[in-house]
């Protein structure tokens, strides 16, 4: 049965993990996968997670099934975080949040949901977008198209072209947005631009899907939900997919959620039954360890405060690395302009290097990035930043 199967190349982002691990060079730097690292280059558990896990272990009495929606307290806490506990959509019962195996699992559930609802729907994603978006939606049978987003020459948002493209979208089109910390380019619309985008969605009738994987890493936890809140105020239907991998640092616990906003409470209840049936055919029920931890954190004032301060620490560190990197590049005499690093947000930015230059960074300096020259800014620290800038100047010179 498998005789016709040929090996496929590794995923462009995950492939870096194994190549980096196998590299014996002590100076190696992994700027690939989007995982937060501290000054020591480690990805430790958050203190709030350690505390909540102790509580969970001391109090959990069963590992029996919880049913398709998983940890109900997690689902409602995520709804509160995303939409605001006093929001009209929550008060009107128009939202259902259901935990999923990570944000990626949530995107796949969202894809199956769209395919079930409108079999000939199409997904429109920013150019560029997270490469895995380009795989997940077609895996559910949905065609994907791109709308203009990133100006590679100026490292800015192509807002006018984006709006022109979105003006052509209408009912049956799903338009995917990154709520904050755009992956891979680090450029987000500002508040006024988000307002214009959400007005356009309401006017044209396309369905917004918001991927929020870095809540808290751009401006603040609540601030980063701006797109979710504007779309859900203005549009009758919205799909939101959230991830807790980064902001709770529970990457391997696969903790995320899909939230659907519907026209009314009854429709939301109906759509939830469709989601339950889709996930039953897929993974039956979601894993609950990560969500149970987050349920504990978000239902404790003390642990919530601790979490907020830990997210602030991660955000501030990334922003200060962006500043340091940009300043040190200027001080090194590199003439290419990298000042955009300071204006962008989240873990990712494009360096604007050719594939050949990316390969030189890897082969000559053991510095690993994806071929698109996307870097994870959180991977820098005092011990590796000068080495990186030196290598960058060499590959730019020749």
Q: How near is the Cβ of 61 to ligand LMR at its closest, in Å?
A: 34
306/373 with CB nearer ligand LMR: 373
Active site residue 211: yes
Task: Look at the block and give the residue holding tokens 């102790």.
Answer: 54
What does the alpha-carbon distance between residue 70 and residue 62 come to, in Å, rounded to a whole number? 14
Interacting residues with ligand LMR (CB under 6 A): 13, 33-34, 130, 132, 183
Q: How near is the Cβ of 182 to ligand LMR at its closest, in Å?
A: 11
Active site residue 194: no
* Four-point Cα dihedral 192, 194, 200, 202, nearest 10: -120
218/295 with CB nearer ligand LMR: 218
Among residues 30, 112, 173, 211, the one annotated as catalytic is 211
Ranked by CB distance to ligand LMR, the top (closest) residue is: 34
Query: 149 and 184 in contact (C-beta within 8 Å)?
Result: no
DSSP assignment of 16-28 equals HHHHHHH---TT-
Q: Which of 244, 252, 187 is nearest to 221 (CA)?
A: 244
Among residues 130, 224, 295, 362, the one annotated as catalytic is 130
Among residues 28, 112, 194, 246, the one annotated as catalytic is 246
Residue 174's DSSP bridge partners are: 123, 207
Query: 99 and 255 in contact (C-beta within 8 Å)?
Result: yes
What does the alpha-carbon distance between residue 128 and residue 195 come to, in Å, rounded to a whole number? 22
Q: How near is the Cβ of 130 to ligand LMR at its closest, in Å?
A: 5
Q: What angle do CA 33, 34, 35 make, to 5 degrees?
A: 100
Q: How near is the Cβ of 129 to ligand LMR at its closest, in Å?
A: 10
* Four-point Cα dihedral 323, 326, 327, 331, nearest 10: 170
140/183 with CB nearer ligand LMR: 183
Q: Which of 146, 139, 143 is nearest to 112 (CA)?
A: 139
132/384 with CB nearer ligand LMR: 132
End-to-end Cα spacing for the chain = 50
What does the alpha-carbon distance between residue 40 and residue 384 come to, in Å, rounded to a whole number? 10
Q: How near is the Cβ of 292 to ligand LMR at its closest, in Å?
A: 23
Hey, what are 139's tokens? 């895996």
Task: Look at the block and give the residue holding tokens 């980064």.
Answer: 246
Active site residue 6: no
Q: How near is the Cβ of 305 to ligand LMR at its closest, in Å?
A: 27
What does the alpha-carbon distance between residue 327 and residue 138 come to, in Å, rounded to a whole number? 41
133/229 with CB nearer ligand LMR: 133
Catalytic residues: 130, 211, 246
């Amino acid at each position: 049965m498998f005789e016709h199967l040929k090996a496929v190349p590794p995923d462009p982002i995950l492939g870096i993990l194994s190549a980096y691990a196998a590299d014996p060079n002590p100076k190696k730097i992994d700027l690939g996968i989007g995982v937060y690292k501290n000054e020591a280059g480690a990805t430790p558990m958050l203190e709030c997670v350690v505390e909540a896990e102790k509580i969970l272990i001391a109090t959990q009495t069963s590992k029996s099934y919880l049913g398709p929606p998983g940890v109900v307290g997690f689902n409602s806490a995520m709804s509160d975080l995303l939409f605001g506990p006093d929001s009209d959509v929550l008060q009107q019962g128009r939202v259902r949040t259901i935990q999923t195996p990570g944000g990626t699992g949530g995107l796949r559930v969202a894809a199956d949901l769209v395919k079930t609802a409108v079999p000939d729907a199409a997904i429109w994603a920013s150019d560029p977008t997270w490469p895995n978006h380009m795989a997940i939606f077609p895996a559910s049978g949905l065609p994907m198209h791109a709308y203009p987003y990133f100006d590679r020459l100026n490292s800015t948002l192509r807002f006018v072209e984006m709006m022109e493209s979105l003006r052509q979208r209408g009912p049956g089109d799903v338009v995917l947005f990154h709520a904050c910390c755009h992956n891979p380019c680090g450029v987000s619309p500002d508040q006024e631009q988000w307002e214009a985008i959400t007005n356009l969605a309401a006017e044209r009738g396309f369905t917004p899907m918001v991927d929020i994987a870095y809540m808290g890493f751009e401006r603040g936890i609540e601030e980063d939900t701006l797109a979710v809140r504007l779309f859900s105020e203005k549009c009758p239907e919205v799909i939101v997919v959230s991830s807790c991998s980064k902001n709770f640092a529970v990457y391997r616990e696969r903790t995320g959620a899909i939230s659907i906003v519907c026209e009314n409470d009854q429709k939301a209840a109906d759509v939830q039954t469709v989601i339950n049936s889709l996930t039953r055919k897929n993974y039956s029920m979601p894993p609950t360890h990560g969500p149970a931890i987050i349920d504990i954190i978000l239902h404790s004032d003390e642990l919530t405060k601790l979490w907020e301060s830990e997210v602030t620490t991660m955000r501030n560190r990334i922003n200060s690395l962006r500043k340091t990197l940009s300043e040190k590049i200027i001080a090194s005499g590199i003439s290419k302009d990298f000042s955009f690093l300071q204006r962008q947000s989240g873990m990712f930015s494009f360096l604007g290097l050719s594939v050949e230059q990316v390969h030189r960074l890897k082969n000559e300096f053991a510095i690993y990035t994806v071929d698109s020259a996307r870097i994870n800014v959180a991977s820098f620290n005092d011990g590796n930043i000068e080495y990186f800038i030196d290598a960058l100047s060499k590959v730019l010179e020749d």
